[in-house]
Structure 1
Amino acid sequence: MQTAKPLKRAVALAAWSEEGLLLVKRPEEDPEFGGAWGLPAVSLGDGESPEEGALRVGWEKLGAGVEVLRPAAFGVEERPAYTLELWVVEARLLARPELPEPKPGKTYYRAYRFGRPEELREAARQGSLCSRLYLAVRGLCP
């Protein structure tokens, strides 16, 4: 009998400013999407809502406040070690990011820039669910 894989719940942030969509670069050593430019994200804690997680992405991963605007997309994907439930939430960036120093056990970003949703296509090709979902909701094929 096959045992169920663990469930991982996560939220990705599509944060906008006057300069465009915030894109973050994952560390090169990241096992899933090393070096890819994509959306910032966090795993949700027990009982944490996607909106609460989106706010936490701002202060924990970006060092900047965000104003949550609306849920944009939701998807489920089977990964080799777990089942991923992922929400993409649109938000307005309230300040320029100040990326924190990396801490063990979590993914921290090495750089950021502002761009357009179309620039998520490479991460989508590498398998990024949040990039694929956000491209689809914006009417852009990955």
Structure 2
Amino acid sequence: MTDRVVVAGAVYDQGRLLAARRSAPPELAGRWELPGGKLEPGETPRQALVRELREELGIEVEPGERIPGEWPLRPGYVLRVWTARVLSGEPRPLQDHDALRWLSRREWDSVDWLDQDVPAVIEAVRRLPDPDIPSAPEAPTRT
């Protein structure tokens, strides 16, 4: 039997990563995760990510690249993570969460992440822009 896939989004905005605090089930409540949920029959992982983030956070996202790796959850489930950017809406904790935080590269470890999310979060943080590296200057325009 193959593991059931759980998709999660490393949602980026303005150089920050979105973290969601679980409100249920009781053994996970109060800890932080990358938001997402289970892949349903007939869905692609990207479709599941879009649906889950719409249901859980009230946002429309565009999935990006898959973060390399796969992390075991409870028996029979495996976590896969994609980067995503918000197309519309303001994230709100609608289902399974009671708080959201945008974390910069320096703040990523200021919350108590679920153990299985930590490797994916580290990979997601590596993809955040470094605030200490300035953007390339624009080429001068010729007049």
Shared fold, TM over 0.5 = yes
Aligned mate of 1:54, from 37, 49, 53: 49
- Displacement of 1:57 after TM fit? 2.2
Corresponding position of 1:130 = 117
Corresponding position of 2:132 = none
- Displacement of 1:45 after TM fit? 0.6
Look up the equivalent residue of 1:16 and give its one-letter code: Y
Alignment of 1:34-113 (within 5 A): 34-77=29-72, 79=74, 82-94=75-87, 95-100=89-94, 102=95, 108-113=96-101
* 1:74/1:85 contact within 8 Å kept: no
In structure 2, what is the Cα distance between the partners aligned to 1:39 and 1:132?
Answer: 11
Q: Provide runs of 4+ in structure 1 moved above 6 Å.
A: none
Residues 1:119 and 2:120 aligned together: no
* 1:11/1:86 contact within 8 Å kept: yes
Which deviates the most, 114-123 or 36-45? 114-123
In structure 2, what is the Cα distance between the partners aligned to 1:48 and 1:72?
Answer: 19
Distance 1:48 1:32, change over 3 A: farther
Aligned-residue Cα RMSD (Å) equals 2.7
Distance 1:32 1:46, change over 3 A: farther
**SS across alignment from 2:112:** helix
In structure 2, what is the Cα distance between the partners aligned to 1:136 and 1:98?
Answer: 24
- Displacement of 1:12 after TM fit? 0.7
* 2:32/2:111 contact within 8 Å kept: no
Structure 1, unaligned runs of 5 or more: 103-107
- Displacement of 1:68 after TM fit? 1.0
Of structures 1 and 2, the larger Rg is shown by: 2
Once the two structures are superposed, what CA deviation does each residue of 1:81-121 show, in whole Å capped at 9, x if it has no partner?
x2222210000122311332x4xxxxx11111100363377
Structure 2, unaligned runs of 5 or more: 127-143
State the identity %. 25
**SS across alignment from 2:20:** strand
* 2:4/2:77 contact within 8 Å kept: yes
TM-score by length of 1: 0.72
Corresponding position of 1:20 = 16
**SS across alignment from 1:33:** coil
In structure 2, what is the Cα distance between the partners aligned to 1:98 and 1:121?
Answer: 18
